[in-house]
Amino acid sequence: MSSILLVTASPRGDLSLSSRAARTVADALARRKPGARIVHRDLAAAPLPHIDQDFAVAVKTPAEKLTAAQAKLLAASDAATDELLAADAVVIATGMINFSIASTLKSWFDHVARAHRTFRYTAEGPQGLAGGKKAYVVIASSGTYTDGGPAAAMDHARPYLKSMLGFFGITDIEFVDIEGVGLGFEPDAVIVERALGKVSAVDLATAA
């Protein structure tokens, strides 16, 4: 069965535009593949903890030598990594928060960046092990960063997301740019609909 991983991360809960738009993209992908299931990793509702000393030790320690705390952290990391590896497509949503991604999403990346699972180092350099799938990345922001204007240099979200996904071997990435929201110049709904209208996976006529 085909699996679509939906990762949402806005700290704004029900108000999140990126989470709602990402759900629309995931639903559209699922409709294309009968029987596909959506696995929702809701980082706002259930954030992964910031990685710490126990985590850093746990990823390099044999299972039988782990403390209970380390085993628990590793199990959470394994579960998130399993979801990413099992997915046929990934839809990631984040708001632009202080010119970068939501901190809960950063924690998710810290948990799924696992040597010998999502990447490995070879004599020729790093090799991604989670490739063969497309990623849709939905980013909502008040500012506009993709028009080549001066704000582009402040965008630490898209370059980071592209680098991390590429590091995992996921190079087929479609960004869904929801820009200029919350400013009152244009209704947010119109901005969201326009952004979704450009997504190859989404048929707005049938979008939820």
d(CA 112, CA 125): 19
In the complex, the smallest distance separating the C-beta of residue 81 from ligand FMN, rounded to whole angstroms, is 24
Return the number of the residue (12 or 194) whose C-beta is nearest ligand FMN: 12
Report the site for ligand FMN in 8-37 (rule: CB under 6 A): 10, 12, 16-19
x/- letters, 112..151, toward ligand FMN (CB under 6 A): ----------------------------xxxx--------
> How far is residue 134's CA from residue 12's CA, in Å, rounded to a whole number?
26
Unique residue bearing structure tokens 């707005």: 204
Give the per-residue contact string, 36-65, with ligand FMN (x = CB under 6 A; - = no). Answer: ------------------------------
The continuous run of DSSP H or E covering 39 comes out as: strand 37-42
Span interacting with ligand FMN, options 58-66, 96-104, 125-133, 162-170, rule CB under 6 A? 96-104
Spatial contact of 107 and 48, defined as CB atoms under 8 Å apart: yes
Residue (52 or 147) nearer to ligand FMN, CB: 147
The answer to the question of residue 96 lying near ligand FMN (CB under 6 A) is yes
Query: How far is Cα 102 from Cα 105, in angstroms, rounded to an integer?
Result: 5
Residues 197 and 204 sit within 8 Å (Cβ to Cβ):
yes
Q: How far is CA 208 from the centre of its chain?
A: 21
Q: Rounded to an integer, what distance in angstroms lies between the CA atom of residue 92 and that of residue 161?
A: 10
Annotated binding site for FMN: 10, 16-18
Contact residues toward ligand FMN (CB under 6 A) are 10, 12, 16-19, 95-99, 140-143, 181-182
